[in-house]
Amino acid sequence: MNILRLCLTGALLLAAAAGAAETRRTLLVELRQVPEDMRASSGVEAGPGHYSYDSYDRDRILSVVRDVVLMLATPEELAQARAEGLDARVLMESDDQVTLIRRALYGPTLKLAPVYHSYDQITARAQALAQAHPKLITRVQIGETTQFRRPIYAYRLSNDAHRAQERPAVLLDGCHHSDEVLGAEIVLAFMEKLLAGYGQDAAVTAWMDTLEIWLVPVINVDGHDMVTSGREPRWRKNLRDVNGDGVVGVYPEGVDVNRGYDFNWAQGGTGEPSKVSYRGQHPFSEAENRAMRHLAGLRQFLLSVSYHSQGEVIFYPWTWAGKPAPDDDIIRRIAGDVAANIPKMEGKGAYAISPGGASSQSYPWFYGRHGTIDLIIETGKGAHLFPPEEVPGIVAANLLGVSALLGHTNGPGLAVKVTDAATGAPLVAQVWLPQIENETVDRRTTDAEFGRRWRLLEPGTHYVIISCPGYRTVALPAVAVGKTGWTGLNVKLEADGAVR
């Protein structure tokens, strides 16, 4: 009986090994002129005759850019594609899957194309721009990376960038996910646009004269270097040595930086370290997230965009238990306007919009904790690393979206300023609109430096309650907000016990 069982077990193992050998994909295949219906997403795992791109599954389909598919294939799958009438060409054959993937996503040189920039190149370019325009840009180190402690830089741009100014602020950032490198290119291109256009372009000059614009080209610096150096094009997370074995850069180790914020942290990503969306051991476990938290503590942002890839869609906060965010009308209006101004790669319409969940990503955290309307823009379609000839078009399209976003920085809404009635000193005070806000969001406050809060609102009358510990609360039942521009609201709070 034992001998029979051993024989059967051995036969099964041999059969399994033979099956694994048969399905081992050793060919990198390019399919050209793939019909649209064969590229459309089906919501299920791609099988023969279906060639859609899944951002999280790189076992078969590596990219689908326009009508060109790059895939890993067995000889049988190659034959199947040809039997379907597709123009299928073998680009490389290898037993090393990583080499095949590098060839697919980096191209024949196995290096990222020069149209993309390394972090060192980005920081060097920003430094050169600062030397050429010293009044218009300043660099602020907001943190350092988890694994190699490399500096993470933010850049403040305005007509007088070396001092904080009492005006609305906007943030653009890139590369929470290290393989989504287009974000860095868009942010860098916008930096170039602002500095070259100030005094020359009317719109740029107006933005720089009336706003503070903050740019973080790369948040996940260590991971971005893994991709841009040519080592591993699939890398998504940071480079934390999760298992503590002292070996860094073994795919897919690391922590997903865009699952590490402390707003509904346990509902975002996964607790499994081997998964691509591993959220870490606790909220803000990663230095990259703490850098963004530090930045949010330095400056209140009216609007924010975080660039990702791919999908040609804008995610906004939120749908939570079937309910929209308290500011849903305003958020959807802004997201819809930005999306409508970004043309798709293939020229058929513009980006879509969709509410995201209220989980541990940047956009629910920025909105829920800080009151910033934060959008995730998924740039391009069908890849994370796009062919070099696609990059300028995607960047230019998304700069149109930035222009649309900045069109919403002049209200309508309230420009609230709260000061101590006796001294005139600015106060960090709650600015609560009880007819709009609910318990899903933290109370909004004025900033410490100016006692200021910029609050986008629909025109009409609004109930506003201003409170601060140690001061008498002020309730204003009917504050009128105009149809355009910022409506000023200056509130002087009297200390408890003050003589009237």
pLDDT of 498? 62
Q: For 208-267, what is each residue's pLDDT tens digit?
A: 999 999 999 999 999 999 999 999 999 999 999 999 999 999 999 999 999 999 999 999
Taking phi over 0 as left and psi of -120 to 50 as alpha, with beta for the rest, 380 belongs to: left
pLDDT of 43? 43
Helices (H), 269-359: 287-298, 328-340
Could you tell me which of 307, 393, 398, 346 has the C-alpha nearest to residue 68?
346
How far, in whole angstroms, is CA 376 from its chain's centroid?
A: 5
Number of domains in the chain: 3
| 304 domain-assigned | yes
Q: For 161-174, what is each residue's pLDDT tens digit?
A: 999 999 999 999 99
**Domain match, 162 and 281 both:** yes
Q: For 358-417, what is each residue's pLDDT tens digit?
A: 999 999 999 999 999 999 999 999 999 999 999 999 999 999 999 999 999 999 999 999
**Domain match, 368 and 471 both:** no
Instruction: Tell me 471's DSSP state.
Output: B
Mean predicted lDDT score pLDDT of the chain: 93
pLDDT of 205? 98
> What's the length of the chain?
500
What are 395's two structure tokens?
Answer: 């960047």
Picking from 62, 77, 106, the residue at the C-terminal end of a domain is: 106
Torsion over CA: 434, 438, 443, 446 (sign)? negative
**Domain match, 231 and 377 both:** yes
Which residue in this structure is represented by tokens 């009438």? 85
Q: What is the span of the domain harbouring residue 102?
A: 22-106
Which residue in this structure is represented by tokens 């420009």? 415
Contact (Cβ atoms closer than 8 angstroms) between residue 29 and residue 92:
no
Beta partners for residue 481, in sequence order: 460
Strands 212-216, 151-157: pairing is antiparallel
Burial of 439 (0-12, 13-18, 19+ CB in 10 A): exposed
**Domain match, 184 and 204 both:** yes
| pLDDT of 63 over the 60 cut | yes
| 174 domain-assigned | yes
**Alpha-carbon gap, residue 71 to 27, rounded angstroms:** 8
**Alpha-carbon gap, residue 6 to 22, rounded angstroms:** 24
* Secondary structure class of 404 (helix, strand, coil): helix
What are 29's two structure tokens?
Answer: 């295949």
| 345 domain-assigned | yes
pLDDT of 480? 97
- pLDDT-based confidence at 19, cuts 50/70/90? very low
Burial of 129 (0-12, 13-18, 19+ CB in 10 A): buried
* Secondary structure class of 44 (helix, strand, coil): coil
Taking phi over 0 as left and psi of -120 to 50 as alpha, with beta for the rest, 259 belongs to: alpha
| 395 domain-assigned | yes
What are 493's two structure tokens?
Answer: 């709070």
| 10 domain-assigned | no
Picking from 406, 432, 462, the residue at the C-terminal end of a domain is: 406
Contacts of 237 (CB under 8 A, 6+ apart): 177, 178, 220, 223, 252, 253, 254, 255, 256, 257, 276, 278
**Domain match, 452 and 423 both:** yes
Instruction: Tell me 499's DSSP state.
Output: -
**Domain match, 257 and 328 both:** yes
pLDDT of 13? 38
Kindly report the CATH number assigned to the domain that includes residue 240. 3.40.630.10
Contact (Cβ atoms closer than 8 angstroms) between residue 25 and residue 53:
no
| 14 domain-assigned | no
| pLDDT of 454 over the 60 cut | yes
CA distances for 90 relative to 50, 51, 63, 93, 103, angstroms: 18, 16, 15, 7, 12
Contact (Cβ atoms closer than 8 angstroms) between residue 240 and residue 146:
yes
CA distances for 274 relative to 198, 280, 286, 300, 303, angstroms: 47, 11, 17, 35, 34
DSSP string, 239-257: ---TT-SS----TT-S--G
**Alpha-carbon gap, residue 253 to 130, rounded angstroms:** 36
**Alpha-carbon gap, residue 314 to 362, rounded angstroms:** 13
* Global pTM value: 0.93
Contact (Cβ atoms closer than 8 angstroms) between residue 133 and residue 194:
no
| 112 domain-assigned | no
pLDDT of 47? 54
**Domain match, 402 and 422 both:** no
- pLDDT-based confidence at 7, cuts 50/70/90? very low
Picking from 385, 406, 427, the residue at the C-terminal end of a domain is: 406
**Domain match, 327 and 469 both:** no
**Domain match, 168 and 263 both:** yes
pLDDT of 500? 56
Strands 87-93, 61-65: pairing is unpaired
**Domain match, 249 and 267 both:** yes
Q: For 320-371, what is each residue's pLDDT tens digit?
A: 999 999 999 999 999 999 999 999 999 999 999 999 999 999 999 999 999 9
Which residue in this structure is represented by tokens 């023969």? 48
**Domain match, 248 and 338 both:** yes
What are 434's two structure tokens?
Answer: 């009880």
| 75 domain-assigned | yes
Which residue in this structure is represented by tokens 């309910």? 323
**Domain match, 270 and 182 both:** yes
- pLDDT-based confidence at 41, cuts 50/70/90? low
Kindly report the CATH number assigned to the domain that includes residue 428. 2.60.40.1120
CA distances for 63 relative to 80, 99, 193, angstroms: 19, 15, 30
